[in-house]
C-alpha cells in the first residue's frame, strides 16, 4: 500500500525508521495507519481508523499521560496556523526536553512558516526533505517559558463564545449560522420552558447554536467529530452559565438509539482543503431514524451544495425556509 496524501508520500520516501512512528494531527491515510504505531488526534474519525487496526489512538484532551509517545514523533502541520502552534507547544509541554520531533506539511498549508516559528521558540530546525510540494523538518522540544493562549473569547448575539483554532468559524459567527438562528427565532418563538424540546446540535463547533437554544430553555445535546469543538462548546456553555450534554461523535456514532424533537446543523463540507460530502450525507440519510414522531431536521448550507436531492430521498419532501442567495435553510420533517 502506497501513501495517498502528499505529506505521507514525502514520509514514505524517507529511510526506514528504527523507532516506532507516532503521527500527531495526521490526515486519514491508510499507509500511515499501517506504518505507524499510534496516533494523537482531535479527530474522532482518525482515532477510529487507527483503533480499527488495533493501533494506539489518543486524544490530546482526554488522555493526561503521554508515556505512550515513545518513538519517532511526526507532527502534521495543519492549514490553521494557530492550530499548528498549539500542537507544537503541546508537544513541548508533554514531552521531555530535547525530544526529537519531525514536522511535515504542504507548502500551501503554511509549512514554510515553521522554521521561523521554531526559531522564535528557541527550537532548532533542520530541513530533511522537500517533495510533493511538501517539506519535512527536524527539531527538538524545549521547555517553553510561556505558551500562546490560542483560545479566543468573543461576544455575539448576547452570548460569550469560546473558540479554538481549527474549529469552524473560529473567532466569528459565520453568515450561514446567523441565517439559521434567524429562522429558529421565527420557528421557535413561544416554546414554553415547561415543555422544552430535546434538540441535537450536529457539528457544534464553538457552541453558538447550542448556547442559543439552551438559553431558551431547550434540552441540548451537542456533538462534533473534533475534540477541539467539543472542548469549545463545553467552555461556551460554562461561561454563559448554561447546561447541555456535549459529546465527541462521528455524526450519529455516539447516539445509537437516541431520538430528538429537532436536529439542527450547519454541516461541514470541507476536510482541510478537500471537499467531502460524507458527513453531511450521513447526517441527512440517518436523521429520520433519530427523530421523534413529527421531529424536524433544520440545516443551513451554501446554496450550491447538492442537499435538496438528498433531503428528498431521505424524507420524501422538504421546505426551503430561507434563501439569501449565498445560503439556504432547509427543513425536513418526520412523518
pLDDT by 10s per residue, the chain, length 335: 899 999 999 999 999 888 999 999 999 999 999 999 999 999 999 999 999 999 999 998 875 556 667 789 999 999 988 999 999 999 998 899 999 999 999 999 999 999 999 999 999 999 999 999 999 999 999 998 777 678 889 999 999 999 998 898 777 899 999 999 999 999 886 655 678 899 999 999 999 999 999 999 999 999 999 999 999 999 999 999 999 999 999 999 999 999 999 999 998 764 444 445 678 899 999 999 999 999 999 999 999 988 999 999 999 999 999 999 999 999 999 87
Residue found by looking up cell 416554546 in the block = 191
| Phi/psi-derived region of residue 280, left when phi > 0, alpha when psi is between -120 and 50, beta in every other case | alpha
Determine contact, residues 127/186, Cβ cutoff 8 Å. no
Cβ neighbours for 21, distance < 8 A, ≥ 6 positions apart: 35, 36, 37, 71, 72, 74
| Cα–Cα distance, 13 to 82 (Å, whole number) | 29
Rg (CA), the chain: 21
| Cα–Cα distance, 236 to 70 (Å, whole number) | 35
Q: What b/e string do you get for 250-284 counting C-beta neighbours within 10 Å, with b at 16 or more?
A: bbbeebeeeebbbbbbbbbbeeeeeeeeebbbebb
At the second CATH level, the architecture of 6-140 is: 3-Layer(aba) Sandwich (3.40)
| Residue of 157, 152, 89, 154 whose CA lies nearest to 121 | 89
The neighbouring-strand residues paired with 152 are 163
- Give residue 7's Cα distance to chain centre: 20
Q: Check the CA dihedral 21-149-206-66 and report its sign.
A: positive
pLDDT of residue 220: 97
pLDDT of residue 1: 83
Domains 6-140 and 162-333 share a fold: yes
| Cα–Cα distance, 125 to 113 (Å, whole number) | 12
C-alpha cell at 279: 458527513
User: Listing from the earlier edge strand, what are the strands of the sheet with 38-40?
Assistant: 56-58, 38-40, 21-24, 72-76, 100-106, 134-140, 126-131
Q: DSSP class of residue 39?
A: E
- Provide the angle, in degrees to the nearest 10, between the axes of the packed helices 227-239 and 208-215: 30
Domain boundaries of the chain, sorted by first residue: 6-140, 162-333
pLDDT of residue 172: 84
C-alpha cell at 177: 449560522
CATH superfamily of 162-333: Vaccinia Virus protein VP39 (3.40.50.150)
Determine contact, residues 50/26, Cβ cutoff 8 Å. no
pLDDT of residue 188: 85
| Cα–Cα distance, 97 to 101 (Å, whole number) | 11
The reported pTM is: 0.89
| Cα–Cα distance, 26 to 292 (Å, whole number) | 38
| Residue of 308, 209, 310 whose CA lies nearest to 262 | 209
Amino acid at each position: 500500500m502506497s501513501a495517498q496524501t502528499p505529506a505521507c508520500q514525502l514520509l514514505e520516501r524517507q529511510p526506514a525508521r528504527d523507532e516506532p512512528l507516532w503521527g500527531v494531527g495526521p490526515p486519514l491515510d491508510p499507509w500511515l495507519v499501517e506504518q505507524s504505531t499510534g496516533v494523537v488526534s482531535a479527530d474522532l474519525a482518525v482515532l477510529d481508523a487507527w483503533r480499527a487496526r488495533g493501533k494506539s489512538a489518543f486524544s490530546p484532551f482526554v488522555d493526561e499521560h503521554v508515556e505512550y509517545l515513545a518513538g519517532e514523533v511526526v507532527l502534521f502541520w495543519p492549514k490553521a496556523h494557530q492550530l499548528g502552534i498549539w500542537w507544537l507547544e503541546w508537544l513541548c509541554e508533554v514531552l521531555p526536553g530535547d525530544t526529537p520531533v519531525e514536522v511535515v506539511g504542504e507548502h500551501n498549508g503554511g509549512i514554510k512558516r515553521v522554521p521561523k516559528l521554531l526559531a522564535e521558540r528557541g527550537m532548532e530546525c533542520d530541513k530533511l526533505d522537500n517533495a510533493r510540494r511538501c517539506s519535512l523538518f527536524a527539531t527538538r522540544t524545549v521547555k517553553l517559558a510561556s505558551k500562546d493562549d490560542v483560545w479566543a473569547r468573543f461576544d455575539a448575539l448576547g452570548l460569550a463564545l469560546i473558540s479554538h483554532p481549527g474549529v469552524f468559524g473560529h473567532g466569528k459567527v459565520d453568515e450561514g449560522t446567523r441565517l439559521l438562528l434567524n429562522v429558529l427565532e421565527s420557528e421557535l418563538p413561544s416554546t414554553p420552558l415547561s415543555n422544552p424540546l430535546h434538540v441535537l446540535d450536529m457539528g457544534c463547533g464553538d457552541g453558538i447554536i447550542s448556547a442559543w437554544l439552551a438559553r431558551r430553555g431547550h434540552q441540548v445535546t451537542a456533538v462534533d467529530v473534533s475534540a477541539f469543538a467539543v472542548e469549545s462548546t463545553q467552555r461556551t456553555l460554562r461561561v454563559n452559565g448554561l447546561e447541555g450534554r456535549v459529546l465527541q461523535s462521528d455524526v450519529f456514532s455516539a447516539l445509537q438509539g437516541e431520538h430528538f424533537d429537532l436536529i439542527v446543523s450547519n454541516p461541514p463540507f470541507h476536510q482541510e482543503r478537500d471537499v467531502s460530502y460524507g458527513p453531511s450525507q450521513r447526517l441527512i440519510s440517518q436523521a429520520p431514524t433519530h427523530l421523534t414522531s413529527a421531529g424536524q431536521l433544520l440545516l443551513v448550507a451554501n446554496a450550491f451544495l447538492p442537499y435538496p436531492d438528498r433531503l428528498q430521498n431521505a424524507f420524501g419532501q422538504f421546505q426551503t425556509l430561507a434563501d439569501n442567495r449565498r445560503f439556504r435553510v432547509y427543513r425536513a420533517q418526520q412523518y
